[in-house]
Homo-oligomer: A and B are copies of this chain.
Amino acid sequence: MAGVTVAERGEFNLIAAVVAGLPSADSVLLGPGDDGAVLRPDGDLVISIDTMVEGVHFRKDWSSASDVGRKAVASSIADIEAMGAVPSALVISLALPGDLEVAWVTEFSAGVREECRLAGAVLVGGDTTSASDITVTCSVLGNLGGRAAVTRTGARPGDVLAICGRLGWAAAGLAVLKRGFRSPRAVVVAHRVPEPPYGAGLVAAEAGATSMIDVSDGLLADVGHLARGSGMTFDINSALLDIAEPQRVVAAAIGGGDPLVFALTGGDDHALAATFPPESVPEGWTVIGTVAAGEPGVLVDGQPWEGEAGWHHF
């Protein structure tokens, strides 16, 4: 199989390779292979869609095909977690250059399956087409059971802001890769494959989270959505942010930078950020700030943050 290209293999055989022998679930009434998959919902449902493009979100020389598959699934499912839903099923569209080796697609599929397994979701369908750059789009569904979704608009004065998951690891890894290095390995790996805290969205919803978002563009940028959505002033206490050793190493190596910048502005780790009444913060979540009535926006240690807030496309 080595060296066989996507064009030589053809669309239908390629889809077959991606979906062959997929695990299923009781809620999946019909999996891949028809015009659509058929699912049995559990309560109201959440849907999201996300695209990753080669050269924009990943590079083939920095990430393996498996890494790309895992990252596409993880970043998409984080949106479902952030609504307090239980991820159930996803569909993937793959746009691929004709000269790409089929082995890349096979390895990508293995990564997709592995991440689906970790998240408890089932791949139920897909589409492949040709394109000049590898483009991966995941649309994910989640079940809300009998619960209401946790939106960005419900934070109230007196709530606390808490996070679950890592901040600034992927950004530190990207900074390293951009300078041509491959270590510290922990942050490079974090850039390649995020580790959203699967299940934490449901825990937060059941604990009474008043608002929630996943940190995809950076803590300040995403908490900013909660602040403006809820019409509240959020204040992050930087002393409560856990700055890991590899981030300190990277910040020190790259021009004496402040490692706090990674935690405040680095995206792509897909931690969850949520607000709770102070007595309701569930296990596994760390309080990092407060919510008060006032001008909608985010302060750091009581002051406006001076600097770049997060990732911008284009």
Minimum CB distance partner of A153 in chain B: B34
Report how far A269 CA is from B183 CA in the complex, Å.
52
CB contacts under 8 Å to B, within A135-171, are 135, 137, 139-142, 144, 149, 151-152
Distance A45 CA – B30 CA, assembled complex (angstroms): 10
A123 to chain B, nearest CB (A): 11
Contact B149 A38 (CB under 8 A): yes
The reply to whether A213 and B35 contact each other, CB–CB distance below 8 Å, is yes
Q: Is the CB of A313 within 8 A of B130?
A: yes
Query: Could you tell me the distance in whole angstroms from the C-beta of A200 to the nearest C-beta in chain B?
Result: 14
Given contacts A29-B44, A149-B29, contact A125 B313 (CB under 8 A): no
By a CB distance below 8 angstroms, the chain B residues around A37 are 46-48
How many positions in chain A have a CB within 8 Å of any CB in the partner chain?
A: 69
The docked-state distance in angstroms from the alpha carbon of A91 to that of B48 is: 7
Interface hit among A6-14, A240-248, A250-258 = A6-14
> Which of A16-24, A63-71, A79-87, A282-290 lies at the binding interface?
A79-87
B126 touches A49 (CB 8 A): yes
Binding-face segment, A92-100, A113-121, A185-193, A296-304? A92-100
User: Which of B29, B45, B89, B152 interacts with A39 by CB under 8 Å?
Assistant: B45
Determine, out of A50-58, A172-180, A202-210, A259-267, the stretch whose residues face the partner at the interface.
A50-58
Contact of A49 among B7, B53, B127, B132 (CB under 8 A): B127
Report the Cα distance A140→B37, complex, angstroms. Answer: 11
Residues on B with beta carbons closer than 8 Å to the beta carbon of A124: 47
- Complex contacts, A139 vs chain B, CB 8 Å: 47, 49, 91, 93, 137, 139
* A313 CA / B14 CA spacing, docked (Å): 11
- In the complex the two chains form, what is the Cα distance from A9 to B131 in whole Å? 25
On chain B, the residues within 8 Å of A92 by CB distance are 49
The list of the 9 closest CB pairs from A to B, nearest first, reads: A139-B139, A36-B48, A36-B46, A7-B314, A35-B82, A137-B137, A49-B91, A35-B79, A41-B41
Binding site for B on A (CB under 8 A): 6-7, 9-11, 29-30, 33-41, 44-53, 55-57, 78-80, 82-83, 85, 89, 91-93, 95-96, 98, 124-133, 135, 137, 139-142, 144, 149, 151-152, 212-214, 229, 312-314
If A47-B141, A49-B92, A51-B137 are given as contacts, then 11 extra A-B residue pairs at C-beta distance below 8 Å, sorted by A number, are: A9-B314, A35-B46, A35-B80, A37-B48, A38-B44, A40-B44, A41-B45, A51-B93, A55-B132, A93-B137, A139-B139
